[in-house]
Amino acid sequence: MAILVFVETAEGKVKKTSLEAVAYAKAMGDSVTAIALGDADKGDLGALGKIGAQKVLHADDKKLNEGNILAYAEVLIKALEDEKADILVLANSSLGTPVAARVAARIGASLASNVVEAPNTSSGFVVKKSIYTGKAFAYVELKNPKKVIALKKNAAEVKESGSDVTVTPYAVSVPDTAFKVKITSSEKATGEILLPEANIVVSGGRGMKGPEHWGMLEELAKTLHAATGCSKPVSDMGWRPHHEHVGQTGVKVAPQLYIAIGISGAIQHLAGVNSSKCIVVINKDAEAPFFKAADYGIVGDAFEIIPKLSEAIKAAK
Amino acid sequence: MKILVCITHVPDTTSKINFKDNNTKFDPTGVQFIIGPYDDYALARAIEIKESTPGTTVTVLNVGLAETEPTIRKALAIGADDAIRVNADPTDSFFVASQIAEQAKAGGYELILMGRESIDYNSGVVHSIVGEMLGIPSVSPVMKLELSGNTAKLAREIEGGKEYLEVSLPFVAGCQEPIAEWKIPNMRGIMSARTKPLKVVEPKSVNSGVATQKYELPKPKGSVKMISADNVKELVNLLKNEAKVL
Ligand SMILES: Cc1cc2nc3c(=O)[nH]c(=O)nc-3n(C[C@H](O)[C@H](O)[C@H](O)COP(=O)(O)OP(=O)(O)OC[C@H]3O[C@@H](n4cnc5c(N)ncnc54)[C@H](O)[C@@H]3O)c2cc1C
Ligand SMILES: Nc1ncnc2c1ncn2[C@@H]1O[C@H](COP(=O)(O)O)[C@@H](O)[C@H]1O
């Protein structure tokens, strides 16, 4: 059973969630080929050998520098064929998920997205996926010989062993029809830790009172190498950009640590954070519902606690 | 122009989720069902386009059993012209997408709007599968959709930002805010919805290649450990040495 892993990059660097995808494939045993499309750091790609890729392909074509979904699907369909791979593994993302779906539909594969742990193959091939926005799980059997698996963050642990592999150039010829959707421009935060990738998230709610107070929250995030998030009203009011809004209708995060400051903990917000390993809640109201979903809590004023917390973390380093 | 809007019938966002029959079935006891919140954005945008483009019709489609009809009627009350219900339990994404693709082909729709994801399965894949089945582009999650003639300008949310796209009709879009403002049905809408056509069709048979075996609820959280506001150091200590997340 050969497995192909689609590896995504951000600013050329392999994304953390893609490292997890390689580790996930490696845990399934058989031969693992990773493939990256467009601009990518060669050193990063070679290092995929350390976490389980036996072979790394790089389709380094300018036309693939933008994440064009139809074109990416074409390349992956061809690569699955060339590598005689029956299974495609990738990370859920705004690029990975639609590509997974199009590939699966084309090659007649069983598809599962939001997969949270290694498959159970004791009888059939069963994956566990997150449903009802993190409020439940389903065990789904993938019955077709071909399978496409899209992973939620933290589905596998990345462990290094072995050594780098050489990166093999992978030549592609993508038909013009695959560029029917033209990407005319994009706006992307640069140099920031992306929210869906982050191991630690510092999130602020309406209790932060206004955008002018985000400086201290960003300072805390910086100390922790964390991404910043927010509640929905905060992005609705334009205090923070929409892509930072966490919850049922926003980004679903699954960090090691989620720190919620001045967020009441409405069920729609919790839906986006309930896969976090550890939750810290800071709120001036001891009755805030978020405390029920927290591992650690502090009742107090955000504006006093945030600077103290930044100091304490710096001191502990 | 003919627009197809695909809607789900899902538990209200505040619902507690439970299962029955040995964790093999969703337990609807006490659950209120709504149009999927993202589907509601798709519908709202479709109605806006209809209002600004004479000769546009909006058809809503749901793959579901008879119990979804009140949800479909609500979409008609919001302003859709007619509805199709494919009479089947929506067991998986591939099955649902196959039914949608079948109806879309038969109806010759130029624009197919969906939600970015359903809030029960959250798969975020039905639009892409339908696009692939019909051989047309699919774009999701779409935050802005402006049509001029045969082409559309879209904004799509990506990690840490936005992407601006151009695509010609026909295509499929998975929608999210702020593409349009949710619409609330008014009295006239509710009255007229009763008599708008709702066609029930039988599903085509599909070999979908996936089978759900059982469901599970997450393990309940242990109780919260409270730390005094004067002792922030202790929090850092616990995060480092007890939770081991720093
Ligand atoms: C269909 C639907 C979908 C939704 N999706 C989402 C979603 O995806 N994400 C989301 O977040 N919300 C979502 N919501 C909204 C949600 O219901 C809540 O309204 C929202 O999460 C509340 O945001 P908040 O906690 O920031 O604000 P509030 O509820 O106003 O809470 C502010 C909190 O700050 C505390 N506070 C105030 N001052 C201070 C201070 N100085 N120091 C410390 N604490 C302080 C208060 O005690 C309070 O608990 C959705 C709602 C609906 C109906
Ligand atoms: N049973 C269904 N009937 C009609 N449309 C559906 C159904 N299930 C999913 N969809 C559409 O597909 C979108 C994405 O769903 P999903 O891939 O399940 O996250 C939804 O927002 C709906 O627009």
Digit-coded pLDDT (tens) for A65-92 = 999 999 999 999 999 999 999 999 999 9
How many whole angstroms separate alpha carbon B39 and alpha carbon B117? 8
Closest CA to B62 of B118, B109, B128: B118
User: Cis (ω within 30 of 0) for the bond into A169?
Assistant: no
Mutational test site, ligand 2, from B89, B118, B140, max ligand atoms within 8 Å of CB = B118
Most B-contacting residue of A147, A298, A304, A305 (CB-CB within 10 A), to test interface: A298
* Model confidence at B196: pLDDT above 90: yes
**Residue carrying structure tokens 């699966």:** A104
pLDDT at site A218: 96
Element (H, E) at B82: strand B82-87
State the burial class of residue A39 (Cβ atoms within 10 Å of its Cβ: 0-12, 13-18, 19+).
middle
> Cβ of B129 under 8 Å from any chain A Cβ?
yes
A98 and B140 in contact (C-beta within 8 Å)? yes
> Cβ of A141 under 8 Å from any chain B Cβ?
yes
From the list A196, A293, A294, the residue facing B159 with the nearest CB is A196
Pairwise pLDDT comparison (B208 vs A34), residue with the higher score: A34
Paired residues of B161 in beta bridges: A188, B158
From the list B120, B160, B176, the residue facing A188 with the nearest CB is B160
pLDDT, averaged across chain B: 96
A272 and A263 in contact (C-beta within 8 Å)? no
> Cβ of B25 under 8 Å from any chain A Cβ?
no
pLDDT at site A53: 96
pLDDT confidence band for A162 (50 / 70 / 90): confident
Residue length of chain A: 317
Domains annotated on chain A, with CATH: 2-179 (3.40.50.620), 195-316 (3.40.50.1220)
Paired residues of A142 in beta bridges: B210
pLDDT tens readout for residues A176-230: 999 999 999 999 887 788 898 899 999 999 999 999 999 999 999 999 999 999 9
State both tokens at A133: 């926005």
A5 and A54 in contact (C-beta within 8 Å)? no
Average pLDDT over residues B202-213: 94
A198 and A89 in contact (C-beta within 8 Å)? no
* Model confidence at A52: pLDDT above 90: yes
How many whole angstroms separate alpha carbon A38 and alpha carbon A66? 7
pLDDT at site A285: 98
Those residues whose C-beta lies under 8 Å from the C-beta of residue A312, and which sit 6 or more positions away, are: B232, B233, B235, B236
Rg of chain A, C-alpha, whole Å: 21
**Residue carrying structure tokens 């919790």:** A270
- Cβ–Cβ gap B229/A138 under 8 Å: no
Q: What is the 3-state secondary structure (H, E, C) of chain A?
A: CCEEEEECEECCEECHHHHHHHHHHHHCCCCEEEEEECCCCHHHHHHHHHHCCCEEEEECCHHHCCCCHHHHHHHHHHHHHHCCCCEEEEECCCCHHHHHHHHHHHHCCEEEEEECCCCECCCCCEEEEEECCCCEEEEEEECCCCEEEEECCCCCCCCCCCCCCCEEECCCCCCHHHHCCEEEEEEECCCCCCHHHCCEEEEECHHHCCHHHHHHHHHHHHHCCCEEEECHHHHHCCCCCHHHEECCCCECCCCCEEEEECCCCCHHHHCCCCCCCEEEEEECCCCCHHHHHCCEEEECCHHHHHHHHHHHHHHHC
Size of interface A-B (CB pairs under 8 A): 252
SS3 category, B83:
strand
Residue ranges lining ligand 1, Cβ < 6 Å: A 205-207, 231-234, 245-250, 262-264, 266, 268-269, 272, 283-285, 288, 301-303; B 13, 37
pLDDT tens readout for residues A100-119: 999 999 999 999 999 999 99
pLDDT at site A191: 73
A298 and B229 in contact (C-beta within 8 Å)? yes
Mutational test site, ligand 1, from A135, A212, A216, A231, max ligand atoms within 8 Å of CB = A231
User: Cis (ω within 30 of 0) for the bond into B178?
Assistant: yes
Task: Residue window 121-140, chain A: list those with CB within 8 Å of chain B.
Answer: 126, 128, 130-140
User: Cis (ω within 30 of 0) for the bond into A255?
Assistant: no
Burial B198-208 (b: 16+ CB within 10 A, else e): beeeebeebeb
**pTM of the shown model:** 0.94
- Cβ–Cβ gap A133/B164 under 8 Å: no
pLDDT, averaged across chain A: 95
> Cβ of B177 under 8 Å from any chain A Cβ?
yes
Average pLDDT over residues A154-173: 93
Those residues whose C-beta lies under 8 Å from the C-beta of residue B228, and which sit 6 or more positions away, are: A298, B234
pLDDT at site A189: 81
Ligand 2 contact, B26 CB (< 6 A): no
DSSP annotation of B91 reads -
pLDDT tens readout for residues A235-273: 999 999 999 999 988 899 999 999 999 999 999 999 999
In B, which residues are within 8 Å of A228 by CB distance? none
Paired residues of B154 in beta bridges: B145, B165
* Model confidence at B62: pLDDT above 90: yes
pLDDT at site A295: 97
Average pLDDT over residues B13-41: 95
Domains annotated on chain B, with CATH: 2-216 (3.40.50.620)
SS3 category, B243:
coil
- Output the CA B99–ligand 2 centroid distance in Å: 11
In percent, the amount of chain B with pLDDT more than 90 equals 93
